[in-house]
Amino acid sequence: MPAQLLGTTGNWGIPNDQPGILITDLSFDFSNQEKQVLDKAGEVIGLSLYQEKVEIKLSGLVAKASSFNGKIGAAITLANAIPAHLQSSGGTTVLMQVSRSLNNEDFEKIDLTATHYPFVSSGGA
């Protein structure tokens, strides 16, 4: 039975499974680089923020039918939208790491790490 929400609540659960993965955990870590401009007294008087990116971690169970088979270094499309905390829109999400684990008394598990680069286009040069 799906969760029944009563009263004032926040968002519940993960909206969509990733193709080939039954998602149990999904996180987005937004970051950028910074370079400070200091005056002669060492106080910050200016700031440059650049190299925005989102590191994405996804964990779940490998689906029995049509299991996940994405390739490291390839662009992937996420089933769940990246929250809009970046200054730009668009970009490409690249699969960086895949971990799969088996156990004799459990389901096959999978962990993905990907990075979203907002200024990288998925097309060729």
Res 9: pLDDT: 82
Q: Is residue 12 part of a domain?
A: no
Q: Is residue 2 part of a domain?
A: no
pLDDT band at 4 (very low <50, low <70, confident <90, very high): confident
What domain count does the chain have? 1
Q: Is residue 9 part of a domain?
A: no
Q: Is residue 123 part of a domain?
A: no
Expressed as residue numbers, the domain containing 40 is: 21-117
Of residues 67 and 36, more confidence is placed in 36
Q: What is the number of other CB atoms lying within 10 angstroms of the CB of residue 71?
A: 9
Q: Is residue 125 part of a domain?
A: no
| d(C-alpha 90, C-alpha 103), whole Å | 39
Res 78: pLDDT: 93
Res 67: pLDDT: 87
Amino acid of residue 92: T
Whole-number percent of the chain with pLDDT over 90: 67
Q: Is residue 78 part of a domain?
A: yes
Q: pTM for this structure?
A: 0.83
Q: Is residue 66 part of a domain?
A: yes
| d(C-alpha 49, C-alpha 96), whole Å | 24
Residue 125 clears pLDDT 60, i.e. is over it: no
* DSSP sequence for 36-102: EEE-TTS-EEEEEEEEEEEEEEEEEEE-SSS-----TTSB---SSPPPS-SSS---EEEEEEEEEE-
Q: What is the pLDDT of residues 8-60, one digit of tens each?
A: 888 888 888 999 999 999 999 999 999 999 999 999 999 999 999 999 999 99
Kindly state the average pLDDT of the residues 101-123: 92
Q: Is residue 84 part of a domain?
A: yes
